[in-house]
Amino acid sequence: MSHDDFAAEPINGLPELPPRGEVILWQGRPNWFRLTVESLNLWWVVAYFAVLTAWRFITVIDVLSFERAIIMTLPFVIMTLIVVSLLMLVGFIQARATVYTITNRRVAMRIGAALTVTLNIPYTQVENAAVSVGKAGSGNIALQTKGDSKFSYLVLWPHIRSWKISKPEPTLRAIPDVQSVAQILAKAAKARIVEVENKEQPNSPELGAVV
């Protein structure tokens, strides 16, 4: 019997129905290949094993025939294919388990393949959003939150801005057409902040994680 771990979600990517007045503006997930390349350093791993394979071939070609040297190098090629396949599988699973949601009040991130966590980040807790654009228009949106907001780097990985360890920044990673998504987020955040400033008590969801 098949089992869907997310079948209990009333809306894909959200653990509960949005409160009245909240509207989903965009939903998406990372491009699995770009996520693998960026978060798991796929090309660096390929280059490392390529150097090992070339070194093995060079060290045996002087004492063995060409055919024998190829046979002696073959285990390194097989090892490379196995490691690369495993990394790509991890990237695919991570991307498949992820749903990014942008509403008119917050950013929600359902992340984690083994331990699923839904992170709610109200716009009132966001100080800045940094957008980086990569190949084919895909890219990342890193959310810099206010000083009292704390996150676990290990829990958020790989949905985290690189090298921001002391103060991790939740990041929507490997998003196709990231500039369009960034515009949606920017407009929603600006409108929400203006709305909250005009009210005495904001009613946006509290910053936190639902496991």
C-alpha distances (whole Å) from 82 to each of 20, 76, 86, 173 are: 49, 10, 6, 25
**Does 195 map to a domain?**
yes
**Rounded distance between C-alpha atoms, residue 188 and residue 105, angstroms:** 7
How does pLDDT run across 111-121, given as a tens digit for each residue?
A: 988 788 999 99
Query: Does 178 lie in the same domain as 104?
Result: yes
**Total domains, the chain:** 2
Interval 141-150 mean pLDDT: 83
**Does 52 map to a domain?**
yes
The pLDDT value given to residue 1: 35
**Does 164 map to a domain?**
yes
**Does 135 map to a domain?**
yes
One-letter amino acid at 5 equals D
Query: Does 139 lie in the same domain as 116?
Result: yes
How does pLDDT run across 30-79, given as a tens digit for each residue?
A: 999 999 999 999 999 999 999 999 999 998 888 888 888 899 899 999 99
Structure token digits, residue 3:
């089992």
**In this structure, are residues 45 and 90 in contact, taking their beta carbons and an 8 Å threshold?**
no
The pLDDT value given to residue 113: 81
- Domain that residue 194 falls in: 24-30+100-210
The pLDDT value given to residue 8: 63
- Rounded-to-10 torsion of CA 142, 202, 15, 12: -60
**Does 19 map to a domain?**
no
| pTM for this model (two decimals) | 0.83
C-alpha distances (whole Å) from 48 to each of 42, 43, 52, 58 are: 10, 9, 6, 16
Query: Does 198 lie in the same domain as 137?
Result: yes
**CATH for 127:** 2.30.29
Query: Does 133 lie in the same domain as 203?
Result: yes
Instruction: Give Cα 129 distance to the centre of its chain.
Output: 15
Query: Does 158 lie in the same domain as 206?
Result: yes
